[in-house]
Structure 1
Amino acid sequence: MINMNVKQKEIVSLDNSFCIKNNNFIAFITKKNKNKSSDIILKETLMFKGFNFDNIASCNQIHSNRVQFIEKSGVYQETDGLICSLNSKLILLIQTADCIPIFIIDEINKLIGLVHSGWKGTRDSIVQSALSIFFNKGSKKENIKIYLGPSIKKCCYEINEDVSKYFNDKYLISKEQTLYLSLIDRIKDDILIEGIKSKNIFDSQICTMENQEYYSYRRNDNGRIYSVMGYK
């Protein structure tokens, strides 16, 4: 049975300065709940807010830099990012558990995008792949806003040399003969290179490894965080 009394502690709504200020718009991230699966929290939240579960578009994430522009719901294969028009009434969804969920909005050009960026996607500049689609669809740099959701941060993201060799030293931290990586800083630099102003980049500053309210693969959690964005 679906519980229509959705508790705010089960989700985190994105910063109002990032979101489209309209009751028909939704953008949130599910949180960890030992009594409910993320699937149930997702369904309850969408129903509570009056969104159609059948309009969800998700992707079979493969840690690539592939992003697709879509026009209908369903599960898209071999891709790690989805972009659509607000007029499509689609609800975009990705799953993470330490990787970075990237929300992209152009309210003027009526485009939204959701991207999953792990270390491989970050290495291969997936956020730039997404932004190139926005630009090709007519978006202007000054109208694009980007939100970086909860993910593992440099304080906790321990890596080996097989990973570190792909990243500039500026993103690496060495502590007690252990290497740590800041994916967020690399992603922010990729965004800035594309001409997006720093004032339009929003960072949750939440580390999934440190914060027990979120699932973390490195902490051996089995669940996943859902990042959701859409318009009805």
Structure 2
Amino acid sequence: MTVLEITDLTKVVDQKTLLNNINLLLTSSHIYGLIGENGAGKTTLFRCLLGLSSFVGKIYIDNELVTKNNINEFLKKIGFISPFPDSYDSLTIEEVFEQHIRYYGVACIEAEKYLKEFGLTVSLTDKISMLSLGMKQRLNIALVLLHNPDIVVLDEPFNGLDREGISLLKKVLVELEQKDKLIIVSSHSFAELESVIDKVIMIQNGKIVKTSDFREIKSGDLKTLEDLYQKYQVEANLC
């Protein structure tokens, strides 16, 4: 079992608190939905988790503290889906694959055949800039699964996907959960999110305001993630 623990995590930039004393304990075989309005702190939290942003606090993976000395080792246990940076536009699909394979130490694969499993019939010489948003998302999904990570983090993964792509991603998420992976998904697409998550975390103004078992909640009066989100907002504003 994989355990991710975040304790007292705080991020301040120019005297503005972006994350305020975040405490979470997440375990594998679950799909966590991270919800909150724009600017709530979702992406900032992911950046801290991935070592892309400094912070005050501690992160543990399987009870071992993540530090500057071992961050690269731990990052190899994580797969992250987010938009490709602009610097990738000039790279070919083959070059992106080669980067991924080198960094994660993955055995060489027949890339074009592998990509077809994700609905991508492309040439390895195609540049990233030539791909549609949906195709980039599919490529991201393929890359994330290539090194078999223990933790999968997805930031707005449904953006740009057509119906077939959304169905594929949902299938992938369920399969990852069944393989004892720990999955965290941030998305504004509540209709898509609620069909796969079993846990929900709401962040507002840099604070975790609620964590719940979504499947348990759905068996009660609140049937949708939107219902739950509205209830959380009311409760948070009353505090």
Please say whether Structure 1 and Structure 2 have the same fold, judged by a TM-score greater than 0.5.
Answer: no
RCO higher in 1 or 2 (8 Å CA, sep ≥ 6)?
2
Question: By percentage of residues, which structure has more helix?
Answer: 2
TM-score by length of 1: 0.32
